[in-house]
Amino acid sequence: MRPALAISELQALRDEALASPTTLQREGRNAAWRGKVESVLTRSLGAEHHLTQRFRKVRYGLSVWTDSTPDSAWTQAFVGGVQTACGHVDAAIYELQTLLDDDAPVDDRAFDPELWDHVKGIVADEDWGKVAALVATFVEDRVRVWAGHPKDRNGEDLYGKGLCAAVFADDSEYRLGKRKGEWEGWRMLGVGFAQAIGNVDRHHVQDRTDARRYALGVLGLGSLLLT
């Protein structure tokens, strides 16, 4: 979720809670409100971000009570919990505001134009978990198409490690570099990309705290191979 949208959603949810905290006690409204806030925090900051974690741990009731504890004490504890939760929301809004200048997450001139055109939509949406898989698929497809769909011994299209090993082989017209050591290095880089990125990100959903950095790193490596 983009920072600007997350800020707008969090501000509205915060204002809703602070306008009349006790109304959240009615008919499960607190659970709904908390779910909405947590969803925005998770999508914008991440599930493991310290503010997301702190928001989840807010208590809205008393830790100790007796049969003579008045209802007003429960109400006061609930209001205090709402205020604490809104404090974490305010902190999240502040952190998201620091990201606004970075709302355009990358410089598109830094990447292969065709690859960038393929992924720019999910990058703009900051859907970082999908970037690596999309990059791996696009790079492999480009390599296969440019090399004329090389086949294995059974006449099937090569893919992944086998594709890169064949296309970047020392005797291939698509080998990269100017001398044998460079040919080998680029071939290993291509094979490593296929194995380390393609095998993982196209078959698993990764939940990473460094999802943005990881995604841009994969985008850079894929662009480097295409370039």
Do the beta carbons of residue 194 and residue 140 sit within 8 Å? yes
pLDDT of 103 over the 60 cut: no
Q: How many Cβ atoms are within 10 Å of 103's Cβ, its own excluded? A: 11
Cα–Cα–Cα angle for 222, 165, 137, rounded to 5 degrees: 35
Every domain of the chain and the residues it spans: 3-102, 108-226
Structure confidence by residue, pLDDT tens digits, 50-96:
999 999 999 998 888 888 889 899 899 999 999 999 999 999 999 99
Q: Residue 142: pLDDT above 80?
A: yes
- 3-state SS class at 132: helix
Q: Residue 174, SS3?
A: coil
pTM over 0.85: no
24-49: pLDDT as tens digits: 888 778 899 999 999 999 998 888 89
